[in-house]
Every structure is written in C-alpha cells, then in structure tokens.
Structure 1
Amino acid sequence: MTTPHRITVVIGNTGERSRTKVLAQAIADGLSAALPVTVQTVEIWKLAPQIGPALTPQGLPDEAAAALRAIASADLLVAVTPVYKGSYTGLFKHLFDLVPPDALVGRPVLLAANGGSDRHALVVDHQLRPLFGFFRALTVPSAVYAAEADFDGYTLNSTALQARIDEAVQQAQALLAARAPAQDVLREAA
C-alpha cells in the first residue's frame, strides 16, 4: 500500500468565505484525485490573533505552532493568497516569517493567487516565487492565478482556470515522485 503524501494548504484569506479558499479547495481536490494524500489546511484568518503579535515561533499558542509544524512537515506545500495592493497579504508573509529558513529546502510548493483582474497575474512570479526562493523550495513551474471573472460568486466557472490547476497538479505530482518524504525540521531542531 502506498503511503499518502502529506499536503499542507496555506490559505492567505482574511475571512471564512473567500474566493481564495475556493481556489485552494479546487487545487486540493485535484491533488486528491491524482494522488493518495492527506490534506491539512492552514487558514490565515483563523491564526491572525495568534501570529499577529508573534516575533518568533517560540511560545506560539498550540494552533499556530501546529500550523508551523504542518508547513515544515508537508511533502508538498500549496500556498494560495489573495492579491492586495499588488502582493500577498501581510499576515500570509508574517506566517512565513515564523517558518525556519531551512524548513522548506527542496520542498515542492504549488503557488496560487487570486485577484480582481488579470492585471495582478504576475504576483505569483514577482512576489510568491521570490519568497519561496528564499526558502530554497522547489516551486512548481506552472502557477495558478484566478481573476474575479473565473468565478461565479464563490464557484469556479472557468475551464481555462481548471486546465491551469490540472497542469500544476501534474507538475506537483512529478516533483513529489522525484523526492524523498519530508523531514519535520521543527521536530528535529527540538
């Protein structure tokens, strides 16, 4: 029997109901259909009161500490953020400021973002890729960007967007197949 891949989906949404969450779920569903996986979701809005005042990961409340462990121990990380003022959300960045610099070395990361229009599509390459480049992660070549026109309310309605998701999922699958299981950097450091 194949051991399921541990996937952590980090959603930079600022509220419970968001298109970012819908996009993240579509990617997680694509991965679940393609691979044996266990999926853990980290939602920024839930962690905001815990991570907002934190300057270091030491002493974080249990839920925030568990989120950092989920990020550090995932075989594949899916990072999805809404676009605000041409970049990812501040709390999204702050969460990753709390992740140890070596925690994601060689880790496959599927990048996705959504914004009001196609004008923001380059946020993935100009903002997210450099962030995960700092961590020396292996970002999936095809990123996913969704504009407001790709949704009908809170439902994906774009076949082109679904094709981008499928392509990114296939590439993530190939990166996972070529890599050993993740080590839990946070646990090893303790």
Structure 2
Amino acid sequence: MNAPLRPLKVVTVSGSLQEPSKTVSLTEHIVQTLATRLPIENHRIDIHRLGPGFTGARHPDDLPEDVLQEMRLLAEADLVIAASPVFRASYTGLFKHFFDLIEDQYALANKPVLLAATGGSDRHALVLEHQFRPLFGFFQALTVPVALYASSGDFDGLQILNPEVHARIEVAVDDIAELLRARVGAHEEAAPV
C-alpha cells in the first residue's frame, strides 16, 4: 500500500507538568517511530506551557487566542497522541482541564487517538482503560486498541530501556499507520480534482 501523498498532521497533547519528562520522552519516541512509517508533521501541545489564561479559564470563551489556536490544530489533526503522567490513579488535572475546554464535543469524533501514559509503577497501567478511554469515548474519538504505558523502571533517566515498551510502540505504530493510510487514501480518492 502506498504512503499518503501529503504529510499527516499529528498533534501530541502532553499532560506533563514539566519538561524534560518521561511522558514527553515517550511521546517523542512514538512520533519518531511513526515518522519511519509515514510522512508526518508533528505539533506538540505542552499543557504546562499554556499559561494563566488557560489555567484560569472556566469556559472556552475565556481562552486566549493562542490556546484557541492549539485547539483548532487538535481538531484538524489526522492523529492525536494523548499522553499524561499518572497522578493519584488518573491523568493530570491540567490534561483534563484542556479537554474540558474543547467547545465542540464532536471536534474529535471518529478521529484516531493513540493513548499513552507514564507512571511510577506497573500498578497504574490500567489508567489507560479506566480513565483515558472513557474520556475520549465521550468525544466519540476512535481510540487505537493498543495503548502505551511505561513505568519509571522502563527508563534510565529519560531514555526508554525496556525492550517490551519498544516492541509495544512498534505494534501500536504499525496498527495506526495502516489505519491512517487507509483513511487518508480514501479521503484523497474522494476529493474532487
């Protein structure tokens, strides 16, 4: 199957509260692996950088223009990689706040979303199934079956050392690459000339 003619728009949403972080490292590894399969343009939204105009917003109308632009990029993405560290058995509050402020509840409908998380131990791995999937289910997003979790023991500093995590990233990226090729190929065939 041929690669799509245009680079795919990938938007990574990182719920990490700092940088550098293991969560950002995991998402960068996913993006680099995906780039070996497909032409992509990646844009990363670091929620901790969105500032007080974002954190103090109670409604989408309260958001500054730069944050609204990030949300528009999210809505226009071919693929969203949604990642957060795990705190108290869930994603970060700022991560949830970002998605709470998406005005159009259908902005992510049928959009492929790859879920990823990092945590202190493997005991938190099910957060992807019990917290992330229901959130994106509300938006009617198309979450990829393979979700990616890495614990602190999988890293040396910020480098992923565990071969099982690398192998799972490969599986997830292969699955999403096939899906994206099919979706973009069908869209390009249907587009008027």
TM-score, normalized by the shorter chain, greater than 0.5: yes
| TM superposition score normalised by structure 1 | 0.91
Structure 2 counterpart of 1:40: 43
Between 1:44-53 and 1:103-112, the stretch displaced more is 44-53
Q: AA paired with 1:44?
A: I
Name 2:191's counterpart in structure 1. none
Report whether the alignment pairs 1:168 with 2:172: yes
Structure 2 length as normaliser, TM-score? Answer: 0.90
The structure-2 alpha-carbon separation of the partners of 1:173 and 1:39, relative to structure 1 and needing over 3 Å to count, comes to: same
- Give the one of 72, 76, 86 matched to 1:73: 76
Instruction: Pick one of 104, 110, 118 that aligns with 1:106.
Output: 110
Count how many residue pairs are aligned between Structure 1 and Structure 2: 181
Q: Give the Cα–Cα distance (whole angstroms) in 2 for the partners of residues 112 and 18 of structure 1.
A: 13
Structure 1 portions without partners, runs of 5+: 182-190
Equivalent residue letter for 1:107: K
The one-letter code matched in structure 2 to 1:57 is P
Identity of aligned residues (%): 46
53-62 vs 162-171, greater mean Cα deviation:
53-62
Is structure 2 residue 127 aligned with structure 1 residue 123? yes
Unpaired stretches in structure 2, ≥5 consecutive residues: 186-193
Q: Distance in 1 between matches of 2:14 and 2:109?
A: 20
Alignment partner of 2:131: what SS?
A: helix
Letter in 2 for 1:16: E
Deviations 1:99-129 (A, max 9, x none): 1200011000000000000000000011000
**Alpha-carbon distance between aligned partners in 2 of 1:116 and 1:165, rounded to the nearest angstrom:** 19
Deviating beyond 3 angstroms after TM superposition, the runs of 4 or more aligned structure 1 residues are: none
Question: Aligned residue for 1:14?
Answer: 17
How well do the aligned residues superpose, as a CA RMSD in angstroms? 1.4
The reply on whether 1:50 has 2:53 as its aligned counterpart is yes
Q: Which has the larger radius of gyration?
A: 2
Matches within 5 A, 1:20-35: 20-35=23-38
